[in-house]
Structure 1
Amino acid sequence: MTQLNINVDFEELASAIFESNLNTAMKSIAVSVLNAYMEMERDQYVNADFKQKNPKRIAQRNGYYERDFMMPVGKIHLKVPRTRDGEFTTDVFEQYTRSDQSLILAMMEAYINGVSTRNITKIVEALSGESVSKSTISEVMKNIDPDIQEWASRPITNHQYKYVFVDAMYIKVKENNKIVSKGVYTAMGINELRQREIIGFKISNQESEKAWSEFFEDLRMRGLTTPELIISDAHSGLIKSIKSQFIDSSWQRCTFHFLKNIVERFPKKNSEDAKLLLKSIFKAPTYQHALQLKEELITKYQNNPKYSEALNILDQGFEDAAQFYRFPAQHHKSLRTTNSIENINMQVRKREKVIKTFPNLDSAFRLIGAVLMDIQENFDSSKRPFIT
């Protein structure tokens, strides 16, 4: 993995690690990482890779035995490697008991928070007093890939999603010896239990109609049926894709971005009253009230040429931004903007910005997927519905 020059506050990170309350997804990752670590310990003891002919081999592999192991994350079930001579023993149980399991937690927490391989190695050494090579850390961390891939490609047929939010963010990835921009597409559904679920994510070259359509096609293949409402910003390629892929779905334009687009066309001076009236439109209790406020704004400023472009945008986009009024009033606040899915992207960005540039697509998929899995586990553990 490409090495990055990042400064880490080890004491702060160590404190966070010791207080960690990792969820089910992280327990699964802990199992994968620990199993992989023990496998590498056995490889070093045997002095040969699997099925490798090596005259300096000192032992033969002999399968595994199963053992439960209690960690701060809870009880996990491990497969412990064996050798035929019975002499191989793993340092995992003694080492992690001695260091309060800080090594594995440091590796997982640092990785999930976007710390480079080099700094994970430093953290491991700082917390456990053990020397661990960069290649060892890289190989061990790759073992979380199957868990993330399985989660990202899981069937989504167990629920019906009435509302679906979609959004994109951009990351930088090293590709063919140059830095390129990639789009990260994310979809969040609200199921019949009124709970949030991250139903898909994809890393693609650009935010285009084709790329969005490929993302939606993947969601449909995994079981997404036609939602009643899809909420997004007004990117042209995204809109075209939604209308072609979900013919019977309504599209809700994010009112926050819509109003921002209008305000940017207002005169720079003396437009405070117009802004207040504009912002009140989509906070109105009913569609009729919103329509009246829209007409009031247009009537009040239509003779002022400085407002003509802004009023035209409002008039043309009003219906797309008012689709949330077709649904229960208690849902309006949650449906009229993309704030909920943008908050997810903000959490991903918080980890991603530490790395700045991913060394490859696999590392981007690994980190973003792990963060989204963690967010989903928090959604699942919450008892409060997203909409009332």
Structure 2
Amino acid sequence: MPHRSLTAAALLAGAVLALTGCAQPAAKPPAAAPASDDHGAVADAAEVSEPQLALLTIDPEGGVRQLDLLDETETELGSVPAPERTATDGRYVFADSGEGMSVIDSGRWTWDHVDHFHYYLAEPALLGEVAGRGAATVATTLSSTTGGTGVFFAGSAEAVLLDTRALSQGELVERFRLETAPHDGMVVPIGSFALVTEPRDGVAASVSVVDEDGMPVPGRTAACAEARGTITTRVGAVIGCADGALLATVVDGAVEIERVAYPAGAAAPRATDFAGRDGRPTVAAVAGDRHLWLLDTRERAWTLLAVDRPIVQATAVDDQAQHVLALGADGRVLVIDGASGQTIAQTEPLVAESLAIDAGAPTLVVDQHRAYLNAPAERALYEIDFADGARIARVFSPPTTPAFLAETGR
């Protein structure tokens, strides 16, 4: 298993020029398809005519199941160590137990070619464990067959870049594993590079660019006070900072980092957890319980919206109607006008009991046509047609508690 282990001092040895100003380039680079000529195909996978959407759930004991949204059949995939949190890129689900991270391959993925898509179906599999201690922060790209997947273990202060192409072939391969000073950090893949956070006084304070072997790229460091939260959009990779966000793109084979500052005078908590529909430029983040941030990565601009009721999650749909979906503190799913912040449709309180007790956190996920919500205490999975007045399209009753939810096949 190829990997490289470096200290934080070695990581910074080549980073001699701090790009704290991060001036914006004269022209915004266009979105690009994943750098691959195989259109996302891998051996033993069938290309199909439509997305193979499914809901993958994990129960509190680690039992993994996948519900096919086309024919409503359910498959038991096995079990992993009981997770404390999960993340997904739409194909793989990363289940963090606090003593390592399990990787689950749903066997379903979409390859985005910008103007069209390719859809694939393969056998699902439990790929194994990535060693590490403490909470694992996962950062993914828009491709599940190329590039890298970043994992940072807060307890052991290790920054790991997994080879995503190897994952697509059923192998766990670490491109690098860096030893850093203790902090809640991130490893964010971008093209054939990655951004790795560096701490000051135990808090992430900057990011440095490294290549796919973990070697620092000279002159590519940017300040990012209290770095927290990341997401990849069609435009580039986002990292949240105390004063706004960094947006990393690859231009002419090199990483460019821009700073997108919060609007002057904006009085709201910062964004720390971004969510949005896959492949779209705009993402959302909760800002306290009465506001939400929208970050348009194409326009390099923030918008602060006041909402008309308390919310606990938000995700940008970014369709022509500028819809934002949110989970209200009372357990309702809200369709919010992204221009005014007003609620234009809502469900009944679907997860009020789950929010009131420690039964697993409900997670709201969205694709082009539907939203999905797990209800651990209510032991249900909801499919919501957000464009049709937040209509409940289907309700599924899983045989085990759906403590964690990921939509796969996206």
Same structural fold, with TM-score higher than 0.5 when normalized by the shorter chain: no
Whose relative contact order is higher, 1 or 2, with alpha carbons under 8 Å and at least 6 apart?
Answer: 1
Structure index of larger Rg:
1
Structure with greater strand percent: 2
Normalization by structure 2: what TM-score?
0.24
Normalization by structure 1: what TM-score?
0.25
Structure with greater helix percent: 1
